[in-house]
Amino acid sequence: MVKLTHLDEYGQARMVDVTGKTPTIREAVVRGKVVMKPETLALVEGGKIPKGDVYGTARIAGIMAAKETGRLIPMCHSLALTGIDISFQSNHDRGEVVIEGKVKTVGRTGVEMEALTAVSVAALTIYDMCKAIDRDMILTDIRLMSKRGGKSGTYSREE
């Protein structure tokens, strides 16, 4: 049976003590999608969404969210992040925007939650900025693609 590190010997929730762990370079890459009408995507890419620059705003929102993850997710450590990159790739035929977030730190615990939070909030921001035009949008497929660093080593999703 797997021992859950977020529970103490009495089954009570706790923040994992990482004091004794050696700091290492940590990196996580997460991807997610926003699916919208192709016409909506054309407006986004043409800079014609009334609320402004969708990708620029979503990028800033994702970066800000990654930095706040420890305040949003119970038992998640507050980390000194050393790098956050968020990028967008569109598929016009399918009306899809793929969001990729890469988060880095040198620390005692991983940055998967920060990368997941960054991509989730970037997707929510895209939805918020476009909802007046397209309420049928779908936020989907938010998933860890890879992580490296720490005792558990490297993980890479096979797709």
User: What angle, rounded to 10 degrees, do the helices at 54-67 and 112-130 form?
Assistant: 150
125/119 Cα distance (integer angstroms) = 10
Nearest to 130 by CA among 61, 39, 33, 62: 39
159/157 Cα distance (integer angstroms) = 6
Verify whether residue 128 is a known catalytic residue. Answer: yes
CB count in 10 Å sphere of residue 153: 8
Q: Which is catalytic among the residues 128, 134, 136, 141?
A: 128
104/52 Cα distance (integer angstroms) = 29
Which of the residues are catalytic?
A: 128
